Amino acid sequence: MTDQSIALLAASWFTGGLAGSILTLTTQCITRIWQRPTLEIAFDDKDSGCCILTVTNPRRHHVRIKIINSGQSTARNVSVCVTKLTLKGSTAGAREFSEEVFDLKLVNHDKVSLFVLAPKGHRYLDLAHISEGDPTHFDFDLQPELGRLRERDGFGANKGDYGVEVFASADNAKAIRRAISWSWDGQFSGLKNFSVSHV
């Protein structure tokens, strides 16, 4: 075997091995991206889980956010928070609060906690509620609580169009930010006109 044929054999082995390695790594990367979780946020008053009227005494009207994993694998350590609140009302004028981040908790949980979300699964998170016996205001279900903002800026006390910016993240998914809005007419059943949009 000549030196030239040895060199050609070594070159073909090296380039074949390199091409194979690159192909393997590319395939693994594409598979990992395709299989990773994909977070989405839904907020629709026609969704029975987003708009709840309880039969307790007093009755309560709950407003909830739905977080969905439309990806191919489980989302781990999912966290959902509110980064901005807005209010546009005829009596209050326009208000905005973005100096603090508020956490959202899962429905039927007392405390805020990270959670897992299975592929094609969903969970609901409490956003606000109003009690039938006290329709003078509604309460945000944020942590920490924001009672001072109701007194100072009218959040939950004034009729108008409300909005929050919601930020959702997980250890193994791309973070998302959405603008959620609804209106309140000052009545017990007056939380309505739900919508969600990209920020």
Q: What is the mean pLDDT of each run of 10 residues along the chain (199 residues)?
A: 57 59 60 77 92 86 95 96 90 84 94 95 95 82 81 82 96 96 90 91
Matching residue, tokens 């509620």: 129
Which CATH fold topology does 36-198 show?
A: Immunoglobulin-like (2.60.40)
Taking the CB of residue 98, how many other CB atoms lie within 10 A of it?
11
pTM of the model: 0.81
Cα(86)–Cα(163) distance, integer angstroms: 5
Ranges of each domain in the chain: 1-35, 36-198
